[in-house]
Amino acid sequence: MTRLALVSDTHVPSRARRIPDWARTRVRRADHVVHAGDFDSADALASVRELADGDLTAVAGNTDPAALDLPEIATLDVAGVTFVVTHGTGPARGYRERVAETVRREAGDAAVGVSGHTHEMLNERVDGVRLLNPGSATGAAPADRATMMTATVEDGAVTVQTHEG
């Protein structure tokens, strides 16, 4: 069994001072951390890397400085499940379909997509692809609260829990 912490859209320091303590604790306890972009700064990325103890898969968001040198798409294989991580940058219209197409193109229908950008939690199937969006771990606008997800992966099955502060 592998425990993942799924976070996104932390926006530190532009919209929040730091990730809340309750979320930091969940990130520390995870076996691996996935961040779907919009750290906003090198310090924020360094902080998440430290919380993850180096076990981090992260992608660039639309507000991340190029100097962070993060990929736009990353894949992660965990206990028989492939995760495709992308920020989901682009207009609100067509967001779900755009992310599902990215997941399908990178790893096929059986993969699980993890994305951010909207600051709204999402756990649903779109065109046969499971999509997860943990929202904003700091509650950065336009979110109305801080949210994240944890996922347990075992023998090819993914169980997701949502958390909010």
Assign residue 110 the CATH number of its domain. 3.60.21.10
Question: What is the extent of the structural domain holding 46?
Answer: 2-164
Looking from the CA of 86 toward its CB, the CA atoms found within 13 Å total 23
Residue 104: its pLDDT value, please?
96
Q: Which residue has the tokens 């606008």?
A: 141
Instruction: Kindly give the parts of the chain with pLDDT less than 70.
Output: none
Residue 115: its pLDDT value, please?
98
106-134 tens-digit pLDDT: 998 899 999 999 999 999 999 999 999 99
Task: Classify 148 as helix, strand or coil.
Answer: strand
Residue 109: its pLDDT value, please?
86
What single letter denotes the amino acid at residue 58?
Answer: A
Structural contact between residues 47 and 60, judged by C-beta atoms closer than 8 angstroms: no
Distance CA 104, CA 127 (A): 10
Nearest to 80 by CA among 58, 110, 124, 103: 110
Residue 140: its pLDDT value, please?
95
* CB contact burial 97-125 (16+ within 10 A = b; e otherwise): ebbbebbbebbeeebbbbbbbbbbbbeee
Query: Structure pTM?
Result: 0.97
Query: Per the structure, how many domains does the chain have?
Result: 1
